[in-house]
Copies of this chain bind each other. A is one copy, B any other.
Amino acid sequence: MKILLVGASGCIGSAVAAELSVRHELITAGRTSGDVTMDLSDKDTIEAAYKEVGSLDAVVCAAGNVTFKPLAEMTAADYAVGLNDKLMGQVNLVLIGRKFVADGGSFTLTGGVLDDDPIVEGTSASMVNGALNAFALSASIELERDLRVNVVSPGVITEALEDYAPYFRGFEPVPAARAALAYAKSVEGKRTGQVFRVS
C-alpha cells in the first residue's frame, strides 16, 4: 500500500514507520520535515500536501497539538488550540483525503487515553479525544467506497515518559512499538468506526 504518515518524526510516528515500512510504501509528512509538509491547523496545507502526493491507499496521523494547563487557567483560546489542531486537523485529513484515498482505503487517527481516564491539566486533551472517537464512529457509517476510519487511543508512551511522567503517575506506559501495532491493525485490517485502545 501507499500510505501517508503524518507526524512521522514523532515518538509514535517513528514507531509506526518502523512497523509499516517493511511492508508498505510510506510518504512521510510533518510540520517542518518529511516527504511533504503540512500544518494540521491549516487545512490549505493539508489540501496542498494531498495534491502533491496524489492517490493513496491509507492515511495515518500520529500528530496533533493540545494545551495542557490547569482547568482554572484554561480559556476558550486554550481549548481552540486542540480543537483546531488535533481535532479538526485530523477531521480535515478525512474530509479532504476522501478524494485522494482509493476504494477500501483507511484513515487512522490518534486519540488518547484521557477521554476516559483523565488527568489534572488534561481537560483539552480529554475533550479532543472524546470528540475524535465519536467522529470516527459516526463518519464510519457515511464514508463512501468502503473507506474506513478508526482511532488509535494509546496510553502514555514509554519513550515520552521523560517529558510526561509527572502528569501520568500510575499509568502503565505503552512502548511505542506496541502502540504501532494498533495502527497496523487499522490499516491492514478491515474494521471501521473503531477506537483501538492500547493502554
Known: A72-B98, A91-B79, A142-B71. A127 touches B116 (CB 8 A): no
A window 74-110: CB within 8 A of B = 74-76, 79, 83, 87-88, 91-92, 95, 98
Known: A76-B43, A76-B95, A88-B79. A131 touches B139 (CB 8 A): no
Task: Establish whether residues A130 and B135, one from each chain, have CB atoms under 8 Å apart when the complex forms.
Answer: yes
Contact with B along A98-134 (1 / 0, CB 8 A): 1000000000000000111011111101111111111
Known: A71-B143, A76-B43. A127 touches B138 (CB 8 A): yes
Q: How many copies does the complex hold?
A: 2
- Cross-interface CB contact of A126 among B114, B123, B127, B138, cutoff 8 Å: B138
Chain B residue at minimal CB-CB distance from A83? B83
Task: Establish whether residues A130 and B134, one from each chain, have CB atoms under 8 Å apart when the complex forms.
Answer: yes
- Cross-interface CB contact of A135 among B87, B127, B139, cutoff 8 Å: B127
Task: Establish whether residues B142 and A70, one from each chain, have CB atoms under 8 Å apart when the complex forms.
Answer: yes
- Cross-interface CB contact of A76 among B88, B118, B141, cutoff 8 Å: B88
Instruction: For A135, list chain B residues within 8 Å (CB).
Output: 123, 126-127, 130
Task: Establish whether residues A126 and B137, one from each chain, have CB atoms under 8 Å apart when the complex forms.
Answer: yes
Q: Does A159 contact B (CB under 8 A)?
A: no
Q: Does A25 contact B (CB under 8 A)?
A: no
Q: Does A144 contact B (CB under 8 A)?
A: yes
Task: Establish whether residues B137 and A116, one from each chain, have CB atoms under 8 Å apart when the complex forms.
Answer: yes
> Given A74-B95, A87-B127, list of 14 further CB < 8 A pairs?
A71-B95, A71-B139, A72-B144, A79-B91, A83-B87, A91-B127, A114-B134, A115-B134, A116-B137, A119-B141, A126-B135, A127-B138, A130-B132, A130-B135
